[in-house]
Structures are given as structure tokens and as C-alpha cells.
Amino acid sequence: MATSVEVYPKEIGTLSEEQIAQALIKQAETDPVGVYGEIGSWDDMTADERKVFRAIGKAHVATNLPIFTHTGIPGKAALEQLDILEDAGVKPNRIVIGHLGNLVDVNVQVQRAICKRGAFIGFDRQGGPGDAQQVPMVMALIEAGFADNLMFSADISNAGQMKRNNGQGYAKTLTVFVPKLKAAGASDEVLHGIMVDNPRRFLACIPKKPRKA
Ligand SMILES: [Zn+2]
């Protein structure tokens, strides 16, 4: 999902931070949502985007729902997104900063900084030609001891990417990307941890208010 001030609902500009937070909290009570996402910004965050991030932080504190973000390409706002959410009282291990495979850097500096702070980083646009750049970055992070902070997903966003339309399908993370990591030397144990244990830990959530049956 692309998200920016242009694609946020128009009323975001006139709603206060508190009003947005209350709407998000209400949504968590009425819809069976399991995560707030993708909360997005472009590289230079606008005032409205910062307001939404503060509101999401508040909504998290009220609900416990984890947060998945969207960064623009190449993810320049990643650290600022984490700063705002942490300032709002969100623990880093409840946050995935998304699309950081787009931030191509052999030294994975921003990715390391985010992992060190305890948040997850999303490598969620793989399974295609960009893998040649993403595989070494993931391997560098595994070697640096950050396997527990990696979150993979497919970021499928249109019907053309689905298998029945001759796309790579939802499973491309598992069927295309993971085998490339294995070939690069990642162990089955590490890959299982990333694919199974990390999302389970991230998504585990005891809602603050019991859900209606
Ligand atoms: Zn996105």
C-alpha cells in the first residue's frame, strides 16, 4: 500500500492527533484487526504524516496492536518513523519498519541501527530482480546477529501479482527468496526463526480491551 499525504484520506488534514487516535482505537474494537499497517510516509515526512504516526503510537498504547510501517524508496524516513513511535510510548519490538530492502546499502547502516534499537525491519519486496541486492544485505544482518529482527513478507498489492494471473503469488517469499538465502549460506534453523518465530513473536498480542465475540 502506498501511503502519503496525497493518499491519506482528505480529512486527515483537518483531524487532530487525538481524533485520529480515537478513530484507530475504535476501529480496533469494531474490526477484527490484528495489526496497524501499513502506516506510511514518504522520505521527508510531512506534518500530517508525523501527526498520523503520533496518533498510531497513541492507538497502540491503548490497544497493544503491533505496528507495520511503509517507508518510501529508499527508506530515508525509517529512523524518524521509529523515533516518533518510540516517543509515543511504543516499544521497538512491537514495530516493523517496512520496505527496508529498498534502502540498498552494503553496510546496512540504517538497518543495523534499527535492529540495535530492538525493532524489526521489513524485507518485504523480494522475490524478483531486486533479490541480487537484498540477499547480501540480509546475510550481513544475519552475520551481525540480527536474525531475530528480520521480517519477510511479499507486499502483494495488485491482482496481477497473484498466481492465477501468472504472477509470483503470495508464496514468493518462501518459494523464491528463502531458497536464495539458503544458497547464500543461511541455515535452516535461522530461516525457520525468521519465517516462523519472528512473525509469531511480533503478532502475539493481548488486546487491552477484550474483543467482542
Ligand atoms: Zn508499502
Domain assignment present for residue 208? The answer is no
Q: How many CB atoms are located within 10 Å of the residue 78 CB?
A: 27
What is the Å distance from ligand 1's center to 170 Cα?
A: 15
What is the Å distance from ligand 1's center to 156 Cα?
A: 9
What is the Å distance from ligand 1's center to 192 Cα?
A: 24
What is the Å distance from ligand 1's center to 41 Cα?
A: 9
Domain assignment present for residue 41? The answer is yes
What is the Å distance from ligand 1's center to 98 Cα?
A: 7
Specify the pLDDT at position 32: 80
Q: Using a cut of 0.85, tell me whether the model's pTM lies above it.
A: yes
What CATH number does residue 173 fall under? 3.20.20.140
Which helix H or strand E contains 55, and what residues bound it? helix 47-63
Q: Which range marks the domain in which residue 107 is found?
A: 10-203
What is the Å distance from ligand 1's center to 175 Cα?
A: 21
Domain assignment present for residue 53? The answer is yes
In the predicted model, residues of the chain with pLDDT beneath 50 are 1-5
Domain assignment present for residue 1? The answer is no
- DSSP string covering 73-102: TT-TTHHHHHHHHHHTT--GGGEEE--TTS
Domain assignment present for residue 52? The answer is yes
Q: How many CB atoms are located within 10 Å of the residue 210 CB?
A: 8
What is the Å distance from ligand 1's center to 95 Cα?
A: 14
Domain assignment present for residue 3? The answer is no
Domain count along the chain: 1
Sheet holding 95-97, edge to edge: 36-40, 67-70, 95-97, 120-123, 150-152
What is the Å distance from ligand 1's center to 81 Cα?
A: 14
Domain assignment present for residue 197? The answer is yes
Q: What whole-number distance in Å separates Cα of residue 178 and Cα of residue 66?
A: 25
For the stretch 41-65, pLDDT in tens is: 988 999 999 999 999 999 999 999 9
What is the Å distance from ligand 1's center to 63 Cα?
A: 23
Q: How many CB atoms are located within 10 Å of the residue 94 CB?
A: 20
Domain assignment present for residue 2? The answer is no
Specify the pLDDT at position 22: 97
